Amino acid sequence: MATSIKDIANKLNMSVSTVSYALNGGPRSVSLETKNQVLAAARDLGYRPNRVARSMVTGRSYTIGVAPPEIGDDVFLSPYLQLAINGVANEAGRLHQDMLVFTRYRETEHEEMLSIILDGRVDGVIFIAPHFTAKTVELAAALQLPCVAISGAPVEGVTSFSINNEQGMTQVLEHLYELGHRRIGHIAGRLDMQDALIRLQGYQAFLHARKIPYRDEFVAKGQFLIEGGRRAMHELMNLPIRPTAVSCANDEMAIGAILATYDLGIKVPEEVSVAGFDSTPSSAHIHPPLTTVRQPIGELGEVALRTLVDMIEGNEPQEKKVFETDLIVRASTNHPMEEIHEGSLYSH
Partner DNA sequence: TCGGTTTAACGAAACGTTTCGACAGGTCCC
Partner DNA sequence: GGGACCTGTCGAAACGTTTCGTTAAACCGA
Site of interaction with a copy of itself (CB under 8 A): 2, 48-53, 55-56, 61, 63, 73-77, 82-83, 85-86, 89-90, 92-93, 96-104, 106-107, 114-116, 118-121, 255, 259, 281-282, 285-288
Q: How far apart are CA 121 and CA 56, in angstroms?
A: 10
Q: Half-sphere exposure of 284 toward its Cβ, with a 13 Å CA cutoff?
A: 5
Query: Min. distance of Cβ 46 from a copy of itself in angstroms?
Result: 8
Instruction: Based on the shown chain and the rule CB under 7 A, indicate whether residue 145 belongs to the binding site for DNA.
Output: no
Contact 130, 143 (CB under 8 A): no
Q: Left if phi > 0, otherwise alpha if psi is -120 to 50, otherwise beta: which for 144? A: left
Q: From the list DNA, a copy of itself, none, which binds 342 (C-beta under 5 to 8 Å, kind-based)? A: none
From 21, 132, 177, 203, residue interacting with DNA (rule: CB under 7 A): 21
> H or E element: which one contains 231?
helix 226-237
Our CB check for a copy of itself shows the closer of 111 and 342 to be 111
* Sheet with strand 273-275: strands edge to edge: 219-221, 184-188, 245-248, 273-275
Query: Min. distance of Cβ 136 from DNA in angstroms?
Result: 20
Instruction: Based on the shown chain and the rule CB under 7 A, indicate whether residue 24 belongs to the binding site for DNA.
Output: yes
Q: How far apart are CA 299 and CA 214, in angstroms?
A: 35
Instruction: Based on the shown chain and the rule CB under 7 A, indicate whether residue 17 belongs to the binding site for DNA.
Output: yes
Q: Is 48 helix (H, G, I), strand (E, B) or coil?
A: coil
DSSP 84-145: HHHHHHHHHHHTT-EEEEP--GGG--HHHHHHHHTSSS-SEEEEES--TT--HHHHHHHTT-
Query: Min. distance of Cβ 74 from a copy of itself in angstroms?
Result: 6
Our CB check for a copy of itself shows the closer of 38 and 169 to be 38
Our CB check for a copy of itself shows the closer of 169 and 308 to be 308
Bridge partners, 162 (sequence order)? 322
User: Where in 38-77 is the site for DNA (CB under 7 A)?
Assistant: 47-50, 53-54, 56-58
Q: From the list a copy of itself, DNA, none, which binds 118 (C-beta under 5 to 8 Å, kind-based)? A: a copy of itself
Our measurement of the distance from residue 314's CA atom to the centroid of its chain's CA atoms, rounded to an integer in Å, reads 25
Instruction: Based on the shown chain and the rule CB under 7 A, indicate whether residue 23 belongs to the binding site for DNA.
Output: yes
Our CB check for a copy of itself shows the closer of 184 and 286 to be 286
Q: Summarize as ranges the residues that interact with DNA (CB under 7 A).
A: 1-2, 4-6, 13-18, 20-21, 23-24, 26-34, 47-50, 53-54, 56-58
